Structure 1
Amino acid sequence: MGRDAMGKSANRFASLRWRLMMPLLGLSLVMIVVIVYAGFSAGQQENAAAITQFTGLILAILAAGAVITTFIVLSWLIGRIKKITRVAEALAAGELTARTGMHPTDEVSRMGHALDQYADRVQNRQNELRASSRQGRREVEQLTAAMEALPDGIIVQDLDGTVQHINTAAKNLLDVPSGLRSAIDEKRELELTEFITQRLGHALPLLGVSDARWVTLNAGQPELARELNVSTTPMTSMSHHRIGTLVVLRDMSSEVERARVRDSLLNQMNAALENDSRPIVPLREAYKALREAVETNRPTTANDAHRPFSLDRFVLGLVNEWRQPAQSANLTLDLVNERPGLIVMGDERRLRYAIACLLDNAVKYTPPGGKVLLEIKGEEKGMARLRLRDNGTGIAADELPHVFTRFYRGTPTTTGGRVIRVPGAGQGLTLAKEIIEGHGGTITIRSQVGMGTAVYFTLPTTENS
């Protein structure tokens, strides 16, 4: 309370005290006057001394009554004031539920009631602030969860360029060290900001400028290289004041790789057309290879449709699909399952394409009357082991190391030395290897000219296998 309020409260207290004591004082004065008058009248009589003594006794009683009454009144007032003081001290200590519980019947109770009203307003305001704070925290948590769910990397910078938030995708794309993944103090925030600035370099434009640039990470390590598209957008408040910058990182490595494969294939086709000494790939096969390269050639990632599926059903469906082409080529296609019940985890559509490439080669390079056999051999260390073998023309030892090279085509020959001409663009084994290894599997080829070829490959299984 201010000095004016305290002064008014003191004046109210004084007026209340005198109003309570005035009747008592008036009564005392009346009694004194009566007794004095009686004593004066009795002084003329014989028992004047006795009356005087009685008068003194009455005065003593009145004085004692006045003192006792004053003490009671003051104790009552001081008790109420102490209660108000205790409530005020409790409120100052943060106990906002403390109240005097007084009703405004007099000056002191009005002061206590006013204090209760003030405490009510303070508590209501604090409740509003707490509710607003909880709502703000919920909104921040929802925004953070949404940013974490995004596949793109998100970085939020303040006006000075200091990183205020970075989602997991951005940390993974930039290979943020574990020690900086949870920047909780100013020093670590500055270290994280410096690390990101070094990683992105010129790709971070001026703060507050909308822009999009490209950056290559780990350029000296092809197996770890990433092509990132870095986009920046100014962030503004509801009052249209700039409050920071939003940086979006998008991994474009797959798109860049597909474009590279497409360009390489087109260059290979162009070279074939310009070089008369090389067999020209038929236009239909070239178009098919180009479409496969664009649509299928990309590393398998966690974003692909990886689901558990039955390996028995999967390989049986493949064999049934290829049985008619094999019969048309006068070949026998069989399935042997030595380990039924395996469950494989992966993108069934892409794995079907990969194994179809292997079956296609087996059918094309096996002469009429030959056999093709797809086998499920078993499971080892969480991997299903499969083998596809044929008794076809086989692959020469000097060509075997190159069979997985993109666009490489060997020169298979019959036992009589005649070169076998089959359609294709040298894409099948390359794509099959990339898809299988992208799923965490392995693939190897063993072959002998005139004896046939065996392809060994593995696929990841689930715990339910």
Structure 2
Amino acid sequence: MIRTVSIWRWQLVFTASIVAIVVMITALTPGTLGIPLFITGLALVVVTTLVAFAVPWQRLPRRAVVVLPLLDTLAVGLATSAPDIRLGLLWVFPVTWLATYFTMHWVLVGVAFCGVCLVLFAERTGDTADLLLRVLTVIITLSFLGVTVRIGSQRARAARRLLERRSEQVNRAAERAETNQRRVTQIIDALGVALVVVAGDGRILQMNDAYRALYGRDRFGDALPSTAVEYDRRRGAAVPPGRTTLARAANGEQLQGERVWLFDSEGRWHALQVDTQTIAAAAEGTHITLVVIDDVTELLEAAEERRALAAVVSHELRNPLTAIIGHVDLLLERDDLAPQVTAQLEVIANAGERMENLVASTLETTRSTAEEPFEPVDLREVVEASAASYAPLISGSRQELAISGAESLVIYGDAFRLRQVLDNLLSNAVKYTPAGGRITVRLGSAADGQAELVIRDTGSGIAPDELPRVFDPYFRTDRAVLAGIAGTGLGMGIARGIVEAHEGSIVVESGLGAGTTITLRFPHRRVKEVLA
């Protein structure tokens, strides 16, 4: 069915051409307007145009539309009665219309109708032979035009149908590919091993559900508010951003059985075994890496349980072995034993001593595995790592964070626990400092030689009557509660416990509207080590 808009467009183009010619005739040969047939032709064009806009063509059969180009043909035929004006050229419009939307039969009917109109209404100047020659010329020209347009229209429709079929085939292929992609994604998501594909610029291209759950990522790859942090060892130092698993994979490093410790958003430790594999990239000069992360926490915990069981069993075996060896030694001191009995007792004593040595060796091994002594920790690195994790929040709040003082400040301690302290203190500074505020961290040495770390903010501060209670469990200031600032009131107490475990001290100074200053001091070496 020809669309109504197409009908309007064809008729308007024809009518606009007639109007332009009438304007020229009025200006140049106004006498032509006195010819009755010419005026009748113009009137027919107006009527046909009104019919084109008034009739609901979508409700009529397709053949009904053919009336319009035939009426236009008749109108042009009536207009050819004007002398010395080649208005017959306007038959190009209805013939092209017929050739575009109707069969070859209607094209020939239209051309024949043009010839009849030419015979009936055209100017009669010249002899009969001249008239016949004009009719033949018009019919041949219009026939060639109609056939050419019709063939082109048929080819265009055939090409369109071919494109539609190919488009359908492409759509079906795309649907099959999408279905296969979903199946592969479902299979990958069902795996317990975390998989992630990272590009050379650090972008995550694809990941499975196991990776999302492990690293706290949403379905688009963005980090959730409580993100997981990688550490070089359990309760060790946080891995710098440039040395995380993804960063190393993006840089093209090949990892085979790399051990990484992850502290997830729910406060649980995960022992990870990381492997990387380079995969094909779409463009030359770029590389894509598949990172395979296996959570071996349960295996390590099972090994730890076996170690603990071995330690308990070995410890419990020591007492009865000591009793056996002791009583055998007492028996060997007697003089009334037969030589054969003495030999048998010596065999028992030797076996007992070997078992005692084995138990002692097992205990020593399990003890050395379980101990986690304090190690050298650079507070500057801990501060910078903590600051890097809060950089997006600080930037979003239009705050400023400045770290100054010693480039390196080494103490003996637990890097993981010290990072917890810094995270708590910086979190409070960011939460209670308004937009545009400033947070400073200075590292150096106190007057007594201890390592000193001072965190100062320009926040709302704490009232004098509330300041002594900042370390109480669940305590929160009235201003924080009224302002609706999130928190539990446990962070400062936890921080003080960790600092005291390092034989350090924490002092809080604050005033309403004057900000808060927190001073941490640590011995460069543990007091217990010095006394030892």
Q: 1 or 2, which has the higher helix percentage?
A: 2
For Structure 1 versus Structure 2, the TM-score category normalised by the shorter chain is 0.3 to 0.5
